[in-house]
């Protein structure tokens, strides 16, 4: 069965951009009678708040986006659905990656990485220069008690995949991101490891989200392969822009769910999302039911 998911980080109130990803993913799977999972990505203990997760659930209900599994009540058989409760699973798969011999402990600080980074990226991405990488890989030893983050070596070869919306993609992880972190020095799990373990174990077949995560998809496919999981299909949505073509800002308060709910009905908000997604040619109110039958090339068949 087609299984999609929405995986918000409960670090604040949702805004139009989050709603867009949620609506599109929900519509995509529900058009084909699929299953939709709500996973709470609360790995960052400083920024994640239960109250935010509750608001996210309330906003999704208000829009009519009901989930078949997941959420704060951990409904379903693939739980827990809060990343903060999945520590043992992440540790299990980290150990499997360590056993490949392609991980190593890294003691570089952010300042070290900034000064040693490989050629500077115009978009501000920082590419790790491999300072702590062992000279021989796979490396037969790994000192799990040594301080530092756990980093994963990435090969200087192409990762190719066909994104259902963005089309054919080619990334070279050595050039595009460098060896990346699986577990931080303070023990916090990386987004990349957690998302792959969760999507794989929750049986996700389709990941639909914003195209700012295309490079992450390449990193995730690399992890899927190392762990022996089959990757889902990826569908990366074009990011929403305003009339001037500028990316919508999270800081624009009129786009937060708080003001959207104050000034609009659910059908009016869905009308804004549908128009921004080019599903409709006006911002007229529309119901989820109506959106289910509107044709669009954004939806995989």
- What is the torsion angle, in degrees rounded to the nearest 10, for the CA atoms of residue 96, residue 97, residue 103 and residue 109? -100
Which of 1-9, 85-93, 141-149, 232-240 is the region at the interface with ligand GLU (rule: CB under 6 A)? Answer: 1-9
Residues 40 to 69 in contact with ligand GLU, rule: CB under 6 A: 41
Helix (H, G, I), strand (E, B) or coil at 160: strand
Residue 259's contacts (CB-CB under 8 Å, 6 or more residues apart) are 253
Beta carbon of residue 8, minimum distance to ligand GLU (angstroms, whole number)? 5
256 or 280: CB nearest ligand GLU: 256
Quick one: which of 3, 4, 7, 29 contacts ligand GLU (CB under 6 A)? Answer: 7
Q: How far is CA 220 from the centre of its chain?
A: 10
Quick one: which of 97, 106, 195, 197 contacts ligand GLU (CB under 6 A)? Answer: 195
113 or 214: CB nearest ligand GLU: 214
Look up 49 and say whether it is catalytic.
no
- Residue 84 CB burial class (10 angstroms; 0-12, 13-18, ≥19): middle
Residues 9 to 38 in contact with ligand GLU, rule: CB under 6 A: 9
Query: Which of 255, 264, 263, 205 is CA-nearest to residue 229?
Result: 205
Beta carbon of residue 268, minimum distance to ligand GLU (angstroms, whole number)? 24
Helix (H, G, I), strand (E, B) or coil at 291: helix
How many other CB atoms sit within 10 Å of the CB of residue 77?
A: 7
Quick one: which of 8, 10, 79, 178 contacts ligand GLU (CB under 6 A)? Answer: 8
Beta carbon of residue 7, minimum distance to ligand GLU (angstroms, whole number)? 4
List the x/- string, 200-219, binding to ligand GLU by CB under 6 A. ---------x---x------
- Are 182 and 97 within 8 A, CB to CB? yes
Binding site for ligand GLU (CB under 6 A): 7-9, 41, 195, 209, 213
């Amino acid at each position: 069965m087609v299984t999609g998911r929405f995986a918000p980080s409960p670090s604040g109130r949702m805004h139009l951009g989050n709603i867009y990803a949620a609506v599109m993913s929900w519509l995509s799977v529900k058009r084909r009678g699929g299953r939709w999972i709500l996973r709470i990505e609360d790995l960052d203990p400083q920024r994640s708040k239960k109250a935010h997760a509750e608001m996210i659930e309330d906003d999704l209900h208000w829009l009519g986006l009901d989930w078949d599994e997941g959420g704060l009540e951990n409904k379903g058989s693939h739980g827990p659905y809060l990343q903060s409760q999945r520590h043992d699973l992440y540790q299990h798969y980290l150990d499997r990656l360590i056993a490949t011999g392609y991980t190593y402990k890294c003691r570089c600080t952010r300042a070290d990485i900034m000064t040693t980074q490989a050629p500077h990226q115009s978009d501000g991405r920082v590419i790790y220069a491999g300072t702590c990488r062992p000279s021989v890989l796979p490396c037969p030893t790994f000192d799990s008690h040594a301080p530092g983050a756990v980093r994963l070596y990435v090969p200087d070869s192409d990762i190719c995949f066909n994104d259902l919306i963005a089309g054919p993609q080619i990334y070279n992880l050595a050039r595009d991101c460098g060896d990346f972190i699986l577990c931080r020095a303070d023990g916090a799990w990386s987004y990349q490891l957690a998302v792959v373990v969760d999507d794989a174990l929750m049986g996700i077949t389709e990941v639909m989200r914003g195209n700012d995560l295309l490079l992450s998809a390449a990193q995730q496919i690399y992890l899927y392969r190392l762990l022996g999981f089959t990757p889902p299909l990826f569908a990366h949505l074009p990011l929403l822009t305003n009339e001037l073509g500028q990316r919508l800002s999270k800081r624009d308060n009129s786009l937060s769910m708080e003001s959207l709910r104050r000034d609009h009905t659910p059908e009016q908000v869905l009308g804004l999302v549908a128009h921004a997604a080019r599903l409709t040619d006006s911002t007229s109110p529309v119901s989820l039911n109506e959106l289910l039958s509107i044709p669009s090339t954004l939806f995989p068949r």
